[in-house]
Amino acid sequence: MLPGQSKYVIIGAGIHGLSTAYHLAMELQARKLGDGSDVIVIDKGKLGSGASGIACGVIRNNYYQPAMRELMAHSVEVWDSDPETYAYNPVGYMQVSHEGMHEDVNSIYEQQKNINYASEFIEGAKASDAFMKAMFDDWQAKNITSVLHEKKGGYAHNQLSLEGLAKKASALGVTILTDTKVLGFQYQNGTSSAIQAIETSLGKIKCDYVVVGVGPWIRDIWQMLDLPEKISIKIADNEYHHDVNMWAFWQLQEGVLSIDPTLFRQNNGQLPPVIHVDSDAPLDSVIDGQSITNENWGIYYKPDIHFDGIQGGAMPYAVETPTADVAIDPYGPASPEFISSPGFALMWCSALAHCHKRFEGQLAAYDETPSGGIGCFTPDCFPVIDVFRENCHIIADSNHGYKMIGVGKLIAQEILGQKSELLKPFQFDRYLKGNLHPISNSPFPWS
């Protein structure tokens, strides 16, 4: 039953909403300002029915952008704080790259040293090949000239981690209401633009503060809040791009190779880190040897008992449907339109075989169950995390979401007056001020 009023209403029962609820309840209690009974989470579906529920679950610090690295280091600390409840596997993360990425990856390594984030950097084709073969004796990828091995990070089981967060929040008195759709907002009269109440499918709830963490549905909530659909971006002194779409959708490409996950282990029998390969080597089909691409490509993969196989993905592609017309629901594998492309299985399995001999001849084991989903991206493909309408904290994660469990902790502190330097680079006004994040040479828009 929806109460008529709550101090704090959080929209979205994914990683951001649940993390914010849990940490806000803790902060309120610690500061003797209230407790979890002051916090309500609402979601139009079930727990994890959005992007967090289908996430690959990779947790990494591997970003070319300094602000992203620092924010992810903070998030990894949160994952490390309770790996059992968060269903977190701290196996590490490895970026294996071609020469065109060498300078970028070296920059990541140097910055990781500066923030004391444990990693190892191997340079040169011979050294990189020897390093990979010492870990995997069937390693056979071509044109690799660097390896960045992050000793922290890894992956978590998405639904289990959400259930763990929900239990933590509920234990502190937080109410989580599912099947509760947001229909609109009511605002205060006069000079204030603050939200006074939220209109939902179960009725109206008055509130003092709102947090929005809804993944790809941010397009719709943004529109309900009367925020701009087009923006201007400063790219140089007195030079701007005008009428830029605030939101764009990308199709995510992920899937599962249904083989025994224990077949992918290190030479010493231990679980491997999550592997990410960026390559400029020609990629040929494992079926007939025909060329799949001569352009740069990238994949990531890991053994995962939760998916019962080898799970991973490849580069996303832009959705051509106009943003306003994209049908987000039904979401994920249930979508009749937005799932991994027909060519994904061949590309990804061919790339796996390019990297490891053990994956040759395994295309037939690819799980044909629909997979993937769409992500809603900002103009620069990095998060917007800021306060709008005076009392509405928006976490628009631009598809970086699941790994960013620590954002909720920072939001909770900000709500109670403790401003975060880690979140400052993600404020909305960076576009108009030209404070943009640097762009890497990765084929992935989020690296």
The four Cα atoms 142, 147, 149, 153 give a dihedral, to 10 degrees, of -60
- Give the pLDDT confidence score for residue 217 in this predicted structure: 97
Strand, helix or coil at 263? helix
- Give SS3 for 261: helix
Cβ-count burial of 180 within 10 angstroms (0-12 exposed, 13-18 middle, 19+ buried)? buried
Residue 273 is which amino acid?
Answer: P
Helix axes 66-81, 102-114, angle to 10 degrees: 60
State the DSSP string of 115-128. TT--EEEEESHHHH
Question: Quick one: angle between helices 158-171 and 15-30, nearest 10?
Answer: 30
User: How confident is the model at residue 233, as a pLDDT?
Assistant: 97
Q: What pLDDT, on the 0 to 100 scale, is given for residue 401?
A: 82
pTM: 0.96
Backbone phi, then psi, for 141, in 5-degree steps? -65, 145
The phi, psi pair for 315, rounded to 5°, reads -60, 140
Hey, CA dihedral for 45, 427, 92, 311, is it positive or negative?
Answer: positive
C-alpha–C-alpha distance, residues 21 and 207, integer Å: 15
CB atoms under 10 Å from CB of 35, counted, come to 16
Nearest-angstrom CA–CA distance, 236 and 60: 31
Q: Which pLDDT value is given to residue 372?
A: 85
The pLDDT value given to residue 442:
82
Angle, CA of 121, 60 and 137, to the nearest 5°: 55
Of 58, 134, 104, 101, nearest in space to 281 by CA: 101
Q: What is the mean pLDDT of each run of 10 residues along the chain (447 residues)?
A: 95 97 98 98 94 92 93 97 97 97 95 95 98 98 98 95 97 98 92 93 97 97 97 94 97 95 97 97 96 96 93 93 95 89 94 98 94 93 97 96 95 97 98 93 77
Place of tokens 């947790």: 59
Task: State residue 190's pLDDT score.
Answer: 74
**What is the per-residue pLDDT for 319?**
94
CB 90 within 8 Å of CB 153: yes
* pLDDT score of 445: 74
What tokens appear for 122 in the block?
A: 């191997």
| 3-state secondary structure (DSSP) of residue 393 | strand
Give the residue from 332, 367, 366, 335 showing the smallest Cα distance to 349. Answer: 366
Three-state DSSP at 350 gives: helix
All domains of the chain in start order, with CATH: 1-89+154-240+380-447 (3.50.50.60), 93-151+248-377 (3.30.9.10)
Residue 179 CB neighbours (<10 A): 12
Tokens (6 digits) for 253:
């490409």
Q: Are 397 and 14 in contact (CB under 8 A)?
A: no
274-279 vs 93-97, strand pairing mode: parallel
Distance of CA 183 to the CA centre of its chain: 26
d(CA 146, CA 125): 7
Q: Which amino acid is at 373?
A: G
If one counts every other C-beta atom within 10 angstroms of the C-beta of residue 110, the result is: 10
